[in-house]
Structure 1
Amino acid sequence: MRNNLAYSALNYFGESNLDRVHLLRKDEAWIAARLQDPETILVPFQGMKPLLTAENQLQLVRLAQVQLQNLAQPPILLGLRHDKAYFAIDVTNAPEVPLAGGVYQELREATLQLARPDSGLLAYAKAILYWNRQNQFCSVCGSPTLFSEAGHVRKCSNPVCNTSHFPRTDTAVITMITCGDKGLLARQASWPAGMYASIAGFLEPGETLESAVAREVLEETGLKVHHVQYHSSQPWPFPASIMVGFIAEAESPDLIIDPQEIDDARWFTREEVKELVAAGELSLPPALSISYRLIQDWLNG
């Protein structure tokens, strides 16, 4: 039996080598002590871009280099790695904060040059910073929310409402569809010419993941699928999703494409994909995506 935990960790952003110490998020004394510890590490972001070295290494900033009072919001606890505490900080509105040399880069573009655990750490940091930024006001009553539990809860400041808000992740399913010895690849009109990938879409309320796969595939391609099998999952911080990967078998190869959803969809044999990619006539999604992994696993049989 396959170890799904280890299998998902093979996806980019799936490994962070971090203990999230969730029981310590409420321990204000422990948090304060860590923020006074010179060994504590900060992970800076500006405009949702992490600070990296010119060689695309994770740029770590020690507390002595940062004036915490100039931050837009308190540091957010990520957890412990090798007994050192890691916090994410947003320096977008604090340009005067002194930091070590480095460049703020788009995570999507830099990921393939990062060590896997660092890509996972940055995905986590980006997602929790984004959630805090997007939830400054209560969705129930509209009052401002307050930073709580080291950045993992935002509480409504209205004592009558007093709602606690927790981080949310948008769930999406992504599927490699097969029919006999062929696999289906599709493209959107906005993608670079020649790029094809697997079918994806968001989970809707009241749906199982398997039902979402069947619905999305039917809506976009007209195909009915069965034997929907889980493959692996991947955090996708662009801006805040979890991609749940599946493999499914189509009942027939007859396509009815919805032009509002996709620009084109085609059946390929494994040999055709390999030949077209080698010839430069077909390109696959970036290697950091679970779509690439689904396709490669199918190509490898």
Structure 2
Amino acid sequence: MRLAETVTFGGGTLDRAAELRGTDLDAALRQGSRAQTILTWRGKPLVAEGALAPLIRLPMDHPVLDGARRIFLGREEDGQLIFAHDISRWEPDVGDAPGVIDTFSDPTEQRHPALEAGVFAELRRIMTVLTADDAALAATARALSGWHDIHGFCARCGAASNITQAGWQRLCPACGAHHFPRTDPVVIMLITHGNSVLLGRSPGWPEGMYSLLAGFVEPGETLEAAVRREVWEETHVEVGEVSYLASQPWPFPASLMMGMRGTARTTEIQIDPVEIEDAVWITREELMDAFAGQHAFLMPAREGAIAQFLLRNWLADNLE
């Protein structure tokens, strides 16, 4: 697909500089290497207030970083090293809305008293106003931080593990096991039949929101087989030819969305209510109305998600 790498989180230019992960980065910083860091709190990046909301970069000696978990992200085009620090141990006053933090549509913003500017904002809400480089940095930082949050102990022996390789590995001091960040492959399917596309919705989504069907790839399964299985399980629609279109890192918490295209052999829908709440065939004309906000009930997938990216390119006939 010609436009594959224009998907949100997919167009950054960061050099991950893996060769530096096992080196003494503290020594490099003491010797004057140029470096800055971005800051996260419970998955939310620190961004400037305003319409464009760029990531705020802090100097490596900023006092708010004391005791924060540090991860080396890589080297930017100008040669500057870039890190991410996580201060999720900070407990702000979240007021009356603690239950919406890190949810599908978290509107809350948090301000740290030690920072002169900036707010912590939900990445899913601001991802489309970030530059491609900022979006990629924020997504990488969120995915790695989330992995460390739930992998503090060795999966082999249960002992507490230590962060190594500048945040890209955990090492068990008891049994010597090495643990690496994991990404879960997910297929998300543009299933078409003639002039129509198959859309579904999950319970709990905003009213009227429909998206492409999606599901995790199971062990021992190809992407093509996963597409056919997931569509059949959720709707009983049979899928024939399947092809790959594009991918999107999706750090909520740790997925790689594999955008696939499939041609339906059947059109009758029988939903599995355990899997989804509803599924419908929508024509191109109806989808255009939905994107224009003029459809009777349909609201398309959120902007920035690969589902909307694929649907827009299907409408524009840009999938080749």
TM-score, normalized by length of structure 1?
0.91
- Which structure 2 residues correspond to residues 114-153 of structure 1 after superposition, within 5 A? 114-153=130-169
* 2:192 counterpart (164, 178, 189): 178
Deviation at 1:280, TM superposition (A): 4.3
Counterpart contact for 1:34–1:85, Cα < 8 Å: no
After superposing the two structures, state which structure 1 stretch, 18-27 or 261-270, moved more. Answer: 261-270
Describe the shift of the 1:110–1:37 C-alpha distance in structure 2 as closer, same or farther (beyond 3 A).
farther
Partner of 2:266: 252
Partner of 2:210: 196
Counterpart contact for 1:46–1:104, Cα < 8 Å: yes
- Aligned: 1:45 with 2:40: yes
Partner of 1:13: 9
**Deviations for 1:79-102, whole angstroms, at most 9, x for unmatched residues?**
000200001111222579944411
- Which structure 2 residues correspond to residues 1-301 of structure 1 after superposition, within 5 A? 2=1, 7-28=3-24, 30-34=25-29, 37=32, 39-55=34-50, 56-66=53-63, 68=65, 70-73=66-69, 75-81=70-76, 82-93=78-89, 98-158=114-174, 161-278=175-292, 279-281=294-296, 282-301=298-317
Counterpart contact for 1:54–1:103, Cα < 8 Å: yes
Describe the shift of the 1:14–1:104 C-alpha distance in structure 2 as closer, same or farther (beyond 3 A).
same
Counterpart contact for 1:76–1:150, Cα < 8 Å: yes
**Cα RMSD over matched residues?**
1.9
Hey, what's the Cα distance between the residues in 2 that align with 1:42 and 1:259? Answer: 45
Hey, what's the Cα distance between the residues in 1 that align with 2:27 and 2:271? Answer: 56
**Deviations for 1:58-105, whole angstroms, at most 9, x for unmatched residues?**
11101232365x2243x2110000200001111222579944411011
Classify the secondary structure of the residue corresponding to 1:43: strand
Deviation at 1:231, TM superposition (A): 0.7
TM-score, normalized by length of structure 2?
0.86
Counterpart contact for 1:177–1:250, Cα < 8 Å: yes
Describe the shift of the 1:35–1:164 C-alpha distance in structure 2 as closer, same or farther (beyond 3 A).
farther
Counterpart contact for 1:71–1:94, Cα < 8 Å: no
Classify the secondary structure of the residue corresponding to 1:213: helix
Identical-pair percentage: 39
Q: Which amino acid aligns with 1:83?
A: G
Hey, what's the Cα distance between the residues in 1 that align with 2:196 and 2:123? Answer: 34
Hey, what's the Cα distance between the residues in 2 that align with 1:277 and 1:121? Answer: 29
Describe the shift of the 1:23–1:61 C-alpha distance in structure 2 as closer, same or farther (beyond 3 A).
same
Hey, what's the Cα distance between the residues in 2 that align with 1:288 and 1:71? Answer: 33
Q: Which amino acid aligns with 1:217?
A: V
Q: Please, which runs of 5 or more residues in structure 2 have no aligned partner?
A: 92-111
Q: Please, which runs of 5 or more residues in structure 1 have no aligned partner?
A: none
**Deviations for 1:162-197, whole angstroms, at most 9, x for unmatched residues?**
100001011111001001221111112311221111
Describe the shift of the 1:31–1:79 C-alpha distance in structure 2 as closer, same or farther (beyond 3 A).
farther
Q: Which amino acid aligns with 2:264?
A: A
